[in-house]
Structure 1
Amino acid sequence: MLTVGDKIPNFKVKATVSLEKGKEFQDITNETFKGKWLVLFAWPKDFTFICPTEIAEFGKKNKDFTDRDAQVLGLSTDSEFVHHAWRTHHPDLKNLPFPMLADIKHELCNALGILHKEEGVALRATFIADPEGIIRHVTVNDLSVGRNVSETIRTLDALQTDELCPCNWTKGEETLTQKLSKAG
């Protein structure tokens, strides 16, 4: 699995970006959002139970990410048509503000190292990459445990300070770097 310090791999996938007729799909590459922070999160399967709770929460908090110059990208091994059908029929997913990447060949999930060994689906992985595409944070949950989107935002905030941030630090609090410079 790729980890902190590795670069987000090159990729080109179809993505579901809208429910508007004629504008549903778009090709997305690792260069599409060049210069932005990326928050790439993967889920195992569309039309399941835990996955829509996470996807909807990323959607609800999308403005928190865009305010931080970060682009959210969702990812699974389902096709763009399955993503579209799910968005059409699930009320919490209809108006998602971020692309749902379709990795039907498993190329991106394999390159990231996040395919479940027995199930062959994406693990619940979250990657935060800086504007140069360098991975700065990775978390992976078992298939049965959803992630905490607020913690992803908190981690992004901490990374963007470029300072020493203690346990449970939140945006607006003093960093250790600030405390050390005052003591000096």
Structure 2
Amino acid sequence: MGIIGSTIKPFKATAFQKGKDFFDVTEGDLAGKWAVFFFYPADFTFVCPTELEDLGKQYATLQGLGVEVFGVSTDTHFSHKAWHDTSDKIGKIDYAFLGDQLHTLSKNFGVLREDSGLADRATFVVDPDGVIQLVEITSEGVGRNAVELVRKIKAAQYVRSHPGEVCPAAWEEGGETLAPSLDLVGKI
């Protein structure tokens, strides 16, 4: 079975978040909420802080959409805190970082590189029922775009709340949608 449309598997991970003590997160904590799992290879690296900072700039927008964000690497929650305390870019970030040193999340989402023990650069959007709706995986040298992630989440939320409608390519909030039917076949 493909990962799109599958339900997230049970997990428990310890999180670090600015201004909070360490805390545990499980799949049960996400029930009824949208969530982003933003996997990256490792703390104290090169492309990763630029992506994480970019996502941090969209965190308030995502929160406004009812979306919780989790940065995930196979580092520990202690490493996440140390990186937050020593990096200008990471120190600005308000969303939570999950430690995945046992590789539970990376294996559950199918992004663990067994040969290195690191996660691929991957994004998963999970709906309030725990179902994976969006996936993006890039090579290690290619950073992601948080503005595009926000656009895709808005489209996924629209489709969820408007059964029978779909969002065409480059759809923006407020734009025209499609209602798939036999009448549209060959006319688009």
> What is the TM-score with the length of structure 1 in the denominator?
0.90
Alpha-carbon offset, residue 9 of structure 1: 1.2
Query: 1:91-106 maps to which residues of 2 (within 5 A)?
Result: 91-106=88-103
Alpha-carbon RMSD across the aligned residues, in angstroms, is 1.9
One-letter code aligned to 1:65: L
Query: 1:141-160 maps to which residues of 2 (within 5 A)?
Result: 141-160=138-157
Distance in 1 between the 2:98 and 2:12 partners? 9
One-letter code aligned to 2:148: E
Distance in 1 between the 2:11 and 2:93 partners? 22
8 Å CA contact retained: 1:2, 1:113: no
Deviations 1:148-184 (A, max 9, x none): 1111111111111113111111112111239x9xxxx
Alpha-carbon offset, residue 120 of structure 1: 2.2
- Counterpart of 1:113 (choices 81, 97, 110) is 110
Distance in 1 between the 2:68 and 2:179 partners? 27
Deviations 1:78-101 (A, max 9, x none): 011110010001112113221100
The residue aligned with 1:129 is 126
Query: 1:15-34 maps to which residues of 2 (within 5 A)?
Result: 15-18=15-18, 20=19, 23-34=20-31
- Counterpart of 1:54 (choices 33, 43, 51) is 51
Instruction: Show structure 1 runs of 5+ residues with no match.
Output: none
The residue aligned with 1:170 is 172
8 Å CA contact retained: 1:24, 1:84: no
Query: 1:60-79 maps to which residues of 2 (within 5 A)?
Result: 60-79=57-76
Give 3-state SS (helix, strand or coil) of 1:143's partner. coil
Moved over 3 A (4+): none
8 Å CA contact retained: 2:70, 2:98: yes
The residue aligned with 2:135 is 138
Distance in 2 between the 1:146 and 1:88 partners? 23
Distance in 2 between the 1:8 and 1:68 partners? 21
Distance in 2 between the 1:138 and 1:114 partners? 11
Distance in 2 between the 1:135 and 1:116 partners? 21
Alpha-carbon offset, residue 33 of structure 1: 3.0
Deviations 1:126-153 (A, max 9, x none): 1011100000111111111111111111
Give 3-state SS (helix, strand or coil) of 1:177's partner. coil
The residue aligned with 2:10 is 10
Summarize the Cα distance change of 1:33–1:97 in structure 2 as closer, same or farther, 3 Å threshold: farther
Instruction: Show structure 2 runs of 5+ residues with no match.
Output: 160-164, 184-188
8 Å CA contact retained: 2:53, 2:92: no
Q: Report how many aligned residue pairs link the two structures.
A: 177
8 Å CA contact retained: 1:75, 1:101: yes
Give 3-state SS (helix, strand or coil) of 2:123's partner. strand
